[in-house]
């Protein structure tokens, strides 16, 4: 599970501390793809309307897999060598 979270963190998929409403999943996805949080929320809802009920599965899974911003920055910074 930590491998998946560190992989998400390296790709920029983290749940931010600010701008989140429920878990920060849509805000994190929006930040990763260069969208505002409300635009990403709207797109998330519109896409999931195509597959009714899928939001009950996808959002919680992303909430579990996407690390929180403070944990992600700590994990990434610890794995990278410090500049000397």
pTM, 2 dp: 0.69
Residue 10: name the closest of 82, 78, 76, 81 by CA.
76
pLDDT at 80 over 70: no
The C-alpha atoms of residue 78 and residue 36 are separated, in whole angstroms, by: 29
The C-alpha atoms of residue 61 and residue 64 are separated, in whole angstroms, by: 5
Asked if 46 contacts 39 with a C-beta cutoff of 8 angstroms, the reply is: no
Maximum CA extent, the chain: 52
pLDDT for 7-34, tens place per residue?
A: 888 888 888 887 777 888 888 888 888 9
C-alpha separations of 9 from 39, 51, 55 in Å:
22, 27, 22
């Amino acid at each position: 599970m930590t491998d998946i979270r560190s992989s998400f963190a390296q790709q920029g998929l983290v749940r931010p501390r600010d701008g989140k409403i429920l878990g920060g999943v849509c805000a994190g996805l929006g930040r990763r793809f260069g969208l505002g949080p409300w635009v990403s929320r709207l797109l998330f809802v519109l896409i999931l309307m195509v597959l009714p009920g899928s939001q009950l599965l996808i959002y919680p899974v992303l909430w579990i897999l996407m690390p929180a911003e403070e944990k992600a920055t700590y994990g990434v910074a610890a794995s990278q060598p410090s500049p000397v």
